[in-house]
Structures are given as C-alpha cells and as structure tokens.
Structure 1
Amino acid sequence: MNMTIPGARVIDVRASLPRHKTLKYGRRKQTDIRSAAMHHSATKSGSPEAFAGYHVVTNGWPGIAYHFVIQKDGVIYWCNDPEAISYHVGNSNRHALGICLVGDFRTQEPTAAQLDAANRLIQHLQVQIPTMKQVFGHQEYPGYAWKNCPAFPMGKFRSDYSQYLQKAVDKVKTPIQVPVAISMNGSMLSVSGFLQEGVSMLPVRAVANAAGGKVEWIEQTKDVRVNGRDLNEKLISGSAYAPARELATALGLQIEWDQATKTVRMMKGSVSK
C-alpha cells in the first residue's frame, strides 16, 4: 500500500511495535473495510510503543489496537496493515480501520496539526481503499454509545473534512497521479513515486540516498541537483520529485519500467537509452 501523503509525515512502525508471542490478528481483504473509526488515546500524551505495550501486556491482545496513531505534532505512525482485523470497535472490527489521535479530548482539544494530518490521512486512504466511504467516532459504532470516544464532535469533524476535501479537489490542476513502486538493485524501496502524464516522477532524495548519490539544494534558484546535474524537478509539499530517467542518468543507473506492477526498476550499470 502506498503511504506517501503529500503534506504529511508518515512513519512506518509496523515491524517494531510490541507483538504478542503467539497471538496474531486475523486478516481481511481491503474491500472488507467500510469505515474509518476515530479514537482518542484518553491519555494526555503517549506513543504507539506505549499503546502497543499496554494492549499486548495488559489486555493480552495480539498487538496495538489501531492501524494509525497521530501525534500532537501531526506525525502519522503506521501501526498495522489495513488488512489486520485489530481490536478497537468490538463486533465492527472486521469492517473498520482504527485511527487514534493522541490526547485526552475530554479535557484537551485536538491540535490543528492532528486534525490536518487526520484529514490528509483519510483522504489518502479513501483513494487507496475506495470501499472506506464513511468516518465514524468510536462511540457511534454499535454497542459503544456509552463511551466518550473520541470526545470531540464527529458531526463537526465530518463537516470540516467535507470542506477540506472540496478544497483539495479545487486545488487539483494536474491529472490523477498513479502510484509507482521503486526497486533499487532488486530491493523495493519504502517510498514511492507517481505517474503523471505518462512520466514516472520519483522522490529525489530517497532515490539518491539509496543509490549513494549526492543531493544539493540551491536556495537561490530553488533547484535540486544530483551529483552536480540539474533536474527538471517538481516540488510537492516541500519534497522534490524528478523524472525517473533523468534521475537514473544523474546516478549512473540502468532503468526499466514494469508496466504490469507499475514499478520502476533501477540497477547499477550504464544507463539504458
């Protein structure tokens, strides 16, 4: 699943969080997901590691309950595969994806950064998982009317999200960007690019770092250079993306395009023509 979200920072902690030694969450198809469930941690602070430890050690669950945790600074932590049927909304677990904002919103307010990140995350997930059409608060699921979670008005959240989504749609000036996977010397990178008007655009710094290239930012002209070579880059939310073949040339790499998997394969050697 592509988790490159423009304007948001996503940290993948799926492999590092505490897990139960023997128990594992069940699995589902992405098409089983019908809604995003919003939670608050009910703690004034916290981390995915702390929540996972509590859920595993104290509750005896297979792992952390949430699929995503959003810190107060807006950083999104990816905690479970969407396909994991984690424990967060009881009998609705099979069809819900859990998003937790850190904080006790009975006495605090979500930060602007958290709400912005939540909006960006939901918008991204609804593109990746088209069946996830609805957004509910924990207390709106059957059997949880008694629970004050996420403890902020979901009606207002959905209204604000609708306005946010409309603004995002209004800003779109380019064709739909199709996600592109990246392979470097046979290993898949954790980042992705996108197809735009038939051209594969790749994240410059991530690809250059993986290939051992040198990246320079020229402040005066707002340009990016790789190994001293200028690129026709595009800046998106502060990150530079460049055409795959230009980037490969600057890095001295061969490049192949796998149409079936939408993957750019880059390898050491002479650049193909």
Structure 2
Amino acid sequence: MNMTISGACVIDVRTSLPRHKTLKYGRRKLTDIRSAALHHSATKSGSPEAFAGYHVVTNGWPGIAYHFVIQKDGVIYWCNDPETISYHVGNSNRHALGICLVGDFRTQQPTAAQLDAANRLIQHLQVQIPTMKQVFGHQEYPGYAWKNCPAFPMGTFRTNYSQFLQKAVGKVDKPKQIPVAIKLNDELLAVTGFLQEGVSMLPVRAVANAAGGKVDWITATQDVRVNDIDLNETLIAGSAYAPARELATALRLKIEWDQATKTVKLKGCVTV
C-alpha cells in the first residue's frame, strides 16, 4: 500500500516494533475494513515502541494494538499493515483500523498538527480502502460506551473532517457516473443505478425490496446487510448503493450486463 501522504510525514516502523515471540495477529482482506477507530494513548507522552512494549509484555498481545500512531508534532508512525487484525476495539477488531493520537485528552487537547495529520491520514486511507467509510471514536463501538476514549468530541471531529474532505476533494476530478437501467426478470425497475470506474452500483433497498430480500441497517457500524450478508456499499444522499454483483449474490440472482443499452439484468426467484 502506498503511504505517501501530501502534507504529512509518515515513518514506517512496522518491522522494528516489539512483537510477541510466538503469538501473531490474524489477517483480513482490505475490503473487510469498514471504519477507522480513533483512540488517545491516555498518556501525556509516549512512542510506538513504548506502546508496543506495553501491549506485548504487559497485555500479552501479539504486537502493538494500533495501525497508526500520531505524535503531537503531527508525525504519523505506521505500526501495522491495514490487513492486520489487531486488538483495539474488541469484537469490532475485524472491521476496524486503529489510529492512536498521543496524549491524555481527558486533561489535554489534541494539537492542531495531530488533527491535521489525522485528517490527511484518514482521507488517504479512504482512497486506498474505499470500504472504510466511517470514522468512530473508541467509545462509539459496541461494548465501549463506558470508555472515555479518545476523550474529545467525535461529532466535532467528523464535522471538521467533512469540511477538510470537501476542500480536498474539490482539488481533484471526481469519477464520472454513467446512469444504468435495471431489469428484474425482464421487467424494467423504476429506479436506476450508475456505472463508475467500470463497476455498476445499484440502489440496495429498492432492488432488494423488488426481489423480496431482507435489508438491515446496522447503526453501530453504519453498514447495510442484505439477507445477512455484508455489502461494500456507498452512501449517496442518504441512500446505499452496492456493486451489482455483490447485491445479486446476496439476493441469489443471476446477473448479466447489456453493454449496448447500459442495463443490469437480474434473473431468479422473487420472494412474494
């Protein structure tokens, strides 16, 4: 993965941090990552080496819990591959990537350099890992409401990040979206999807409802599931769109692409 981030200093320490002699973290696909989890170190100072030593020696973990550590001067330390399933948010570890800002924000405030670096890092990661659509604080994950971490207002952070992202996105060309029609068992649906960078994206709820599928919205992780299957969805104006082939698989439908008419054709049994 490319970790050259404009306006930020990134130091790769993945191979130099303390590791457990026998234990190893599990691995995942990048597409398993759904969110970035923000932490504070709960210490007034510290380093990736110190955190890794504590996590390995005291906690008995395979390695440092975080994927990235951001010092007060804004320097970003790359500690784990994103594919590493490290220990930082309990049962949500498989789908979360951990970012720790050094400091005890119960009594301190993150520095401007740290917040700027966090914004730049998250923006970069969301380009590299499109499924990482959400940013949560440690205490926002299931089972951690009791924990004051990262101890700064996540609503404010997300608002400021959104403003940062809007400015950043305005500097690059947005991928072109080409409208596509949708047919279910040869019947044209009243909704449309779009083709972007070679992938057909379909409106999840409309297509699933037409096909008799079950749609669930997971508030805690901001995920959409169809027939209990996770999708790599994208939220646009409050509606979820998912890759046509993923959605077809979840609905147990066959799929064809008609290039001439720009139409996604879905066929199979519809539950009434």
Q: Calculate the TM-score normalised by the size of structure 2.
A: 0.63
In structure 2, what is the equivalent of residue 148 of structure 1? Answer: 148
Amino acid aligned to 1:22: T
Matched residue, 1:97: 97
What is the correspondence of 1:119-198 to structure 2 with a 5 Å cutoff?
A: 119-172=119-172
Cα distance between partner residues in 2 of 1:168 and 1:130? 16
What is the root-mean-square deviation of aligned Cα atoms in Å?
Answer: 1.5
CA distance in 2 between partners of 1:94 and 1:141 (Å): 12
Q: Match of 2:9?
A: 9
Does the residue aligned with 1:37 lie in a helix, a strand or coil?
A: strand
Shift of 1:169: 1.6
Match of 2:249 in 1: none
1:172: Cα distance to partner? 3.2
1:35 corresponds in structure 2 to 35
Match of 1:62 in 2: 62
Report the AA paired with residue 63 of structure 1. Answer: G
How far apart, CA to CA, are the structure 2 residues paired with 1:7 and 1:160?
Answer: 17
1:198-242 per-residue CA deviation (whole Å, 9 max, x = no partner) reads xxxxxxxxxxxxxxxxxxxxxxxxxxxxxxxxxxxxxxxxxxxxx
Q: Determine the C-alpha separation between the residues in 1 that align with 2:22 and 2:2.
A: 29
Give, in whole Å, the separation in 1 of the partners of 2:142 and 2:126. 22
C-alpha distance in structure 2 between counterparts of 1:65 and 1:134, whole Å? 19
After TM superposition, give the deviation of residue 173 of structure 1 in Å: 7.1
Q: Secondary structure at the match of 1:118?
A: helix
AA partner of residue 170 (structure 1): G
1:159 aligned partner, one-letter code: T
The letter of the residue matching 2:109 is: E
**Code of the aligned partner of 1:48:** P
> d(CA) in 2 for partners of 1:54 and 1:18?
9
**1:105-116 → structure 2 map (5 Å cutoff):** 105-116=105-116
Equivalent positions of 1:244-255 (< 5 A) are none
Distance 1:80 1:87 in 2: 11
Q: Distance in 2 between matches of 1:11 and 1:106?
A: 27
SS of aligned partner of 2:7: coil
Q: Using the alignment, how far apart are the partners of 1:89 and 1:174 within structure 2?
A: 33
- Superposition deviation, residue 21 in structure 1: 0.1
Residue type of the alignment partner of 1:132: M
SS of the aligned residue for 1:8 comes to coil
CA distance in 1, matches of 2:167, 2:174: 15
The CA deviation string for residues 150-208 of structure 1, in whole angstroms up to 9 with x for no partner, is: 00000000000000000112233799xxxxxxxxxxxxxxxxxxxxxxxxxxxxxxxxx
Alpha-carbon separation, structure 1, partners of 2:173 and 2:86:
38
Matched residues in 2 for 1:35 and 1:174: separation? 22
User: What is the TM-score with the length of structure 1 in the denominator?
Assistant: 0.63
CA distance in 1, matches of 2:174, 2:86: 37
Distance 2:96 2:169 in 1: 25
Task: Provide the secondary structure at the position in 1 that maps to 2:170.
Answer: helix
Stretches of structure 2 lacking an aligned partner (at least 5 in a row): 176-272
Deviations 1:237-267 (A, max 9, x none): xxxxxxxxxxxxxxxxxxxxxxxxxxxxxxx
Match of 2:24 in 1: 24
- Distance in 1 separating the partners of 2:71 and 2:61: 22
Q: Count how many residue pairs are aligned between Structure 1 and Structure 2.
A: 176
In structure 2, what is the Cα distance between the partners aligned to 1:150 and 1:106? 8
